[in-house]
Amino acid sequence: MFTLNLIPSSPLTFSKSTHQYYPIKRFQNPKNSSPSPVFLNKSTSPSPKVCNFNKIHGYPLGKIPALSTKTAHFGDIIENPSRKLGSNVPKAAASSEPNPEGEAESVEAAAKSKAKTLQLALVFGFWYFQNIVFNIYNKKALNVFPFPWLLASFQLFAGSIWMLVLWSFKLQPCPKITKPFIIALLGPALFHTIGHISACVSFSKVAVSFTHVIKSSEPVFSVVFSSFLGDTYPLKVWLSIVPIVMGCSLAAITEVSFNFEGLWGALISNVGFVLRNIYSKRSLQNFKQVNGLNLYGCISIMSLFYLFPVAILVEGSQWVQGYHNAIQTVGKASTFYTWVLVSGIFYHLYNQSSYQALDQISPLTFSVGNTMKRVVVIVSTVLVFRNPVRPLNALGSGIAILGTFLYSQATAKKKSSAGEKKS
């Protein structure tokens, strides 16, 4: 790259200068007028023909002040190639460099968010699917075997067996059963029994879609009963129940399959489930270590003991003849057994999924999901059973469901504000 003339009187010359900003001139030693290149070996007996290539590689021209700045130490870089290039860069510039650890954390957070979203979608999907299957096969069984007391008892029995299997094989941790816990469950289990059997009676008398429209008025009963027990609600909550009442009334008077027994069954079901929720909050405060799934399993088992003896008294004498009529109507006994079995299993599964969803999401998201569940069930059953729907009936159903959605929004804000005050 360059040629050297080591004769002392000769200047240091380059064939082609690569220093564009600092052109190299003849070097003059201020202490000695005779030219002496600084890159010669500084031993006691210097040899003019021996040069120190380390010094050539280091500072062939000595330290040029213009290059010895705080922002660029080119000589140090050449002497120490392993040195980091950004070591002498100001911190402001160094901070702009990408942080691999921060990027890894952001990627991991994004992956967790996607996984949680997928898990939530699966929970809601199973919840909706199981609810649809239950309503369809429950209605099919009731159409040929109109004995809701026995069918409701079998559904509780199927759920009880399901939970016993989970506890036996340790697929679900078994709750600690104590006498105070059993006493605390007596009230919620009783109201759960009333709500369940009333809904089954309504399903046997009217269309499934109509029952669900009336059951969407449950928030009205919740506000009224809770207010009697001392709870207070803001004006938004009270205003949200107005469209619920109006929508349910419009849907009832325009329903093709309207039946007072079916209407009263749906209304009593609302009362039962509302009282179950209220009573559970009051009686089970000391048993918060029991998760939602185990709590529902215990309530199902206790409800079975409540319901089945009463079912025998109400319609037990008609079961044998009703069974033969059902087999004759369906044509195959296996088909009828399948309908009953599927309705029992999926009744428990959709309640199990709802409790699992409630454990994983906020109450507001759960309320919105529950409202949309009714919409999906109503549309699905109308399509399956081809129930005639009048325009005013559809309008009333839509208004009632919209009111339910507004109620869930208002009550969720009330709960969040109450939690902030406590904190």
- Compute and round to an integer the Cα radius of gyration of the chain: 41
Tokens (6 digits) for 109: 């957070």
Per-residue model confidence (pLDDT) at position 269: 95
Read off the amino acid at residue 232: T
Question: What pLDDT is stored for residue 157 in this prediction?
Answer: 97
Give per-residue pLDDT as tens, 318-342: 999 999 999 999 999 999 999 999 9
Reading the block at residue 210, the tokens are 């109509």
Which pair of tokens denotes residue 255? Answer: 């329903």
What is the spatial distance between Cα 291 and Cα 405, in angstroms, rounded to a whole number? 27
Contact 199, 263 (CB under 8 A): no
Q: DSSP states of 313-344 as a string?
A: HHHGGGHHHHHHHHHHHHS-HHHHHHHHHHHH
Question: What pLDDT was estimated at residue 6?
Answer: 47
Between CA 226 and CA 114 the distance in angstroms is: 39
> Which pLDDT tens digit goes with each residue over 212-254?
999 989 889 988 988 888 888 889 999 999 999 999 999 888 8
pLDDT recorded at residue 50: 47
Give the model's pLDDT for residue 1. Answer: 44
What pLDDT, on the 0 to 100 scale, is given for residue 3? Answer: 47
Residue 31: per-residue pLDDT: 46
Q: Which pLDDT score, from 0 to 100, does residue 39 have? A: 43
Measured CA to CA in angstroms, residue 293 lies from 146, 166, 363, 385 at distances of 30, 11, 16, 32
Q: Please give the chain's pLDDT, 423 residues, in tens.
A: 444 444 444 444 445 444 444 444 444 444 444 444 444 444 444 444 444 444 444 444 444 444 444 444 444 444 455 554 444 545 444 445 556 666 777 887 788 778 877 877 887 888 899 999 999 999 999 999 999 999 999 999 999 999 999 999 999 899 888 999 999 999 999 999 999 999 999 999 999 999 999 998 988 998 898 888 888 888 999 999 999 999 999 988 888 888 899 999 999 999 999 998 888 888 888 887 888 888 889 999 999 999 999 999 999 999 999 999 999 999 999 999 999 999 999 999 998 888 777 767 766 677 777 878 888 999 998 999 988 888 988 999 899 989 888 888 888 766 656 555 555
The DSSP secondary-structure symbol of 68 reads: B
Using left for φ > 0, alpha for ψ between -120 and 50, and beta otherwise, residue 62 falls in left
Q: Which amino acid is at 411?
A: T
pLDDT at res. 7: 45
Is the CB of residue 251 less than 8 Å from the CB of residue 210? yes
* CA pair distance 375, 397, nearest whole angstrom: 9
Q: Is the dihedral of CA 197, 339, 204, 371 positive or negative?
A: positive
